[in-house]
Structure 1
Amino acid sequence: MAEEQTKETRLGSVKDMLRSPLRTIEAVRQDRYKSLKVRIFFTVGTLAGVPLLIVTAVCFFWLHAVLVDDFSSHLRWQMEHARAGLEYFLSDRISSLRYLASAHPYASLVNPQSLREIFQKRKQEFPELIDLEVVNADGLQISYAGPYSEKGKNHAQQDWFVRAKVHGVAVSQVFPGDRDLLHYVVAVRQYVPERDSFWILKASIDVETLNRFVAEIGLTERDDAFLIAGTDMLQTHSRFHGAVFQRVAMPSLSQQRGFTLMKYKDEVSGNVILGATRVSGSPWTLVAFMKPTTLERIFTMLKREILAVYLIIVFVAIGVWMNYRTTHSIVNRIRDTEKAREEAITHSEHSAKLASIGRLATGVAHEINNPLAIINEKAGLIKDLFEMYPESSGCQREFLPLVNAISESVNRCRTITHRLLGFARRMDISIEPINVNDVVREVVGFLERELAVRNIRLELNLDENIPQIESDRGLLQQVFLNIANNAIDAVSDGGEIVVSSMPENGSGLKVVIRDNGAGIPKEVLKHIFEPFFTTKQKGKGTGLGLSLSYGIIKRLGGTIEVDSFVDKGTAFTITLPLAAELDRSVQ
C-alpha cells in the first residue's frame, strides 16, 4: 500500500513539474519586450514633444486670455449701447407724456372723445402704445382711451401710482394686469397749483418694445440676454432660463448705476461671461450670459499658422513613427532569437521529462503485468480442473462464473496496462477494415454503468450507411473513450450526450460527440490539446487524454475540431479518411 502511494506521489510530482512551463515563459517574455518598446517610444516622445507642447500650451492660454478680454470688452460695448437705447426710449416716452399733459387742457384730456383722438394719433406714431388713462390724485380713473372698456378703476395701491405721486414720473415692472397682456406703465404727474392738487397721465406699452432692445445685443445661439426686475425676476423672455416672471439664479449685483462684468458658472449655460447694467429711470437690470467661443476665434485668426503647426506635427509624428518602427524591428529580432533558443531548450527538457514519465509508466505496467499473469494462470487452472472433474465439487455451478469474472477482470487490466505502455513508447499501428459504428457501440458499452449511476442520457444517432474505413480499431477506441469520458465529466447528473456518425462528401466520415455541459471558455479552448493541460480538479485528470487523442487522429490522417459555448455545451468533431494515411511525423 505504501509503495503504491509512493508511485502516485512521484507521478503527481512529475506532472506538476511539467504543467504549463511554456505559457509562463511566453507571458514573461511578451511583457518584457512590450515594456522595452513602450519605454523607448515614450523616451523619444518626451525628449522631442514635451518642449513643443509646453510652448504651445503657454501660447494657447495667453491667446485664450486675450480673447476672453476681447469678448468681455465687446459684450460691455454692446450692452451699454442697448442700455443707452432703452434709456433714450423711456426718456422719449416720458417727454412725450409730459408734452401731452402740458399741451392739452385738463378738460380736454378728461373728455373721452378728445382723449381718444389724441390716443389714435399717438398710436400711429408708436404702435406699441396700448392705451392712455387720466388718473386723479386719489388714484381713480377719470378718462380712458384704448381697446378695452375700463371705467372707474382705482390705481391707488399700484406701485407705479405711488412712485409717480412722489417722484413725478414712474416706470413700472412688466405685469399682465386684468387683461392678461404683458405690458408696463409709464406715468407722469401734472401739478395743478390753483387747486393745490395733481393728476396723472398714464400710458400702457407692450412688452415687445423691451424685447426689441434686448435683441440688439449681438448674441449667438449659445448666448442669452434678458431684463430682470429686482434681483432675479425675468421681465423679458430668456432663451435658456424660461418665460417672464420666472426666477433666475443670479449672483448678487450692485444696484448702483454702472456695469458689472464677471466670470460666472450658470446652472443652465455652464461657464459664461456675465454682464449686467442698471437701466436708469426704470426698475430693470439688463443681463447677458455669453459663452466665449475662444477656440473658434483662435482657429479663425490663425488658419495659416495652424496649418503650418499641423505640418510640423505631421513631420514629427512621421519621425517618431519611423523611430518606433526601427525600434520595433530590432526588438522583434532579439525576441525571435531568444524565443527560438528558449523553445529549443524547453523542447529538450520537455522531451527528457516525457521520457522519464515513459520509463516510469513502463515500470508500473510491467510490475502490474507480472501478478496479473499469475492470477490469470491460476484462474485458468481452476477452470480446467472444474471442467476435467465436474463431479468433484457440488459448487461448480457457483464457482465457475466467479472464475470467468476473474479472467475478464485480468483481461481488462491487461488492456489498461497495454494503453499505459502505449503512452510510454510509440505503438505499432494495426490497420484493418473497421465499421466505426461498431467501435462507438463498444465504447458505449464500457461506459453504460457510469451513465446509469449518474442518470446521464446517451443518444446514438449513427448512420448505418456510412462507409467502412481502414484504420486502427484500438486507437480509435482510445480516442472515443477519452472524449466520451470528458463529456461525462462535463455534464451534471441527468445531463445529455449525443454521439452521431455521418458520411463526409464521399472522402470519409465524421463522428460528433456533443454534450450539454458547462462548456469551455474561449481563453481555455486554445490550450485543451496541450500536454498536461487540464481544468479538472487536482487528482481527477492528467491533462494527457485530449493531447494523445489529437496525436492519434493526426497519425491516422484525420482531423479533430472542437466547438464550445459556455453554459451551452461542447462538440468534438472527428473526421476520418476512408483509408488511414499515416503521418509518421506525429509521435
Structure 2
Amino acid sequence: MTLLESLRQFPAFETVPDVQLQWLIDRSEEVSLPIHHVINKPGDKVDHLMLVLEGRMVIDSGQNGPGDDLATFGPQSFLGLLPFSRLEHIRNRVITEAPSRVLRLHRDHLRELSQTHYELTGALVHQMTTRVREYTRQTQQEDKMASLGRLSAGLAHELNNPVAAVVRSADTLKEHMRATPENFKAIMHLNLTNEQVDSVDEAFFRKVDQRINLSLLERTTLEDDVTDWLDDHGVDDSVDLAGPLVEFGFTTDDLDSVLARIGDDNLAGVLAWLVNNLVTEKLVMDISEASKRISTLVNSIKNYTHMDRGVGKEQVPLGEGIRNTLTLLDHKLRSKHIAVTLNLANDLPLVGGWPGELNQLWTNLIDNAVDALPDGGQLTISSEPDGSEFVLTKITDNGSGIPDAIKDNIFEPFFTTKEIGKGTGLGLDIAQGVVKHHNGSIKVESEPGRTVFSVCLPIQ
C-alpha cells in the first residue's frame, strides 16, 4: 500500500484532495519505531506532527517507567503538533506499545500548510479542537475527582477521631456502670438529712458543667493537694478519687465545704458517690461532644454536595458554603498548622447562583492557598457587601507570592507550577469559569508575603 493510499484510510482526510495529501507526504519523514520506544519524555520540545500509520502508542504519566495511561493512539490517529497549536513542550511521556510506523511533519512546514492547503489545514484543526475538548473534559473530571479524593480523605480522618471517641467512651461507660451497685450500697448506709443531701447535690451540679483546662504542672500540683487532703481525712484513694475531682474543678476548699455540711462519718461514701457521677457525666459529655462533631461533619458534606436540593440556580448564603468548605479541609489545614481568620459580615446578602459550583470555587481557591503556604502560615478569608449589587470575598495568604513572570498565566488551563502528578493546572481555570458563569469577576494581587484572590459576585 502506498503512503497516499495509507493516508486515504484516515477518516479525517475524507474530503482532502490528493494533491494536498501528496504535499504532506513529500515534506514528511516516514519512521519505524520498535515497541517500548520513548518518543518524548516530560519537558521535551515538540517539533513534529505525527500521523500513526501502523502500531499503537500511549501518553502516560510515567517519566522513565510505567505509568497510568492518559491517552491511546492507534492507526489513523494524530499526535504532537497541529496547525495553530501553541504546544511547545510536552508534560507527559509518549511511548510505543507495539511496533509502529509514523509519518512526521516538522513544524517548519506548518505555516505553508495553513496558507496554501485549506482543506488539509481544516481537517487537522478539527483534530486539534476535538483533542482539546476531550482532554479538557477528561482533565476536568480528574481534577474534580482529585478534589473529591482530598475531601474524602480529610473527612474520613475527621470522622475517625469522634467515632473512636464514641466507641472508647461507650466501652468505658459500660465498665464503669458495673461498679454502680456497690456505690449505691455504700450510699444506702449513710445517715444524711434532706438538707445534707441537697448540699451534696448543689456541690455536684455547681461543678458538673465546669471542665477546667489546666497545664500538666497545675494539674499535678492540684491532684497532689487533693490526694493529701483525702489522706489526712482517712479517705481511701485507691480508686483514684483525686483525678476526677480535679478535672471538674474541686479544690481542697471545696472539699472542706462538703465536709462541713455532711460530717466525717459520711465523707467517704459521699465522695465515692460524687466521683462515680462525675465520671459518668464525663463519659456522657464525651459521647455527646463526639456525636455533635460527627453530626457537624455529616451536615457539612451534605450541604457541600447539596444532596437534598435541586440542581438549579438558587439564593446561596456564601458564608455557609465557605464554612462547610473549611470544615472539610480542616485536616489539611491542621496538618500544616495553618491559622485561619474568618471575617464574614453579619449582613452578608444572598447570592443568586449554583451552590455546587460556588463550593467548588471556594475549594479550589482555599486548597490552592494551603498548597502555597508554609508550615504555620496564615490564611484570612473575608466577605462583605460591595455596594448594593455585589459581594466581595477575599482569600489572603502570607505565602511566598506569585512571581510577576507567571502572574498573567495562572488562570490559563493546564498551567501549573506544581510537580508533575501534583496538579492538573485546572484549579484556577475552573474557579475562573465558575465566576464567569455567575457574571462575576476574579483577580489576584501578589507580592512576597501576601497574595489576595478577590472574587466579586452579583447579588442577583
TM-score, scaled to structure 2 = 0.40
Bigger Rg over Cα: 1
Whose RCO is larger (CA < 8 A, sep 6+)?
Answer: 2
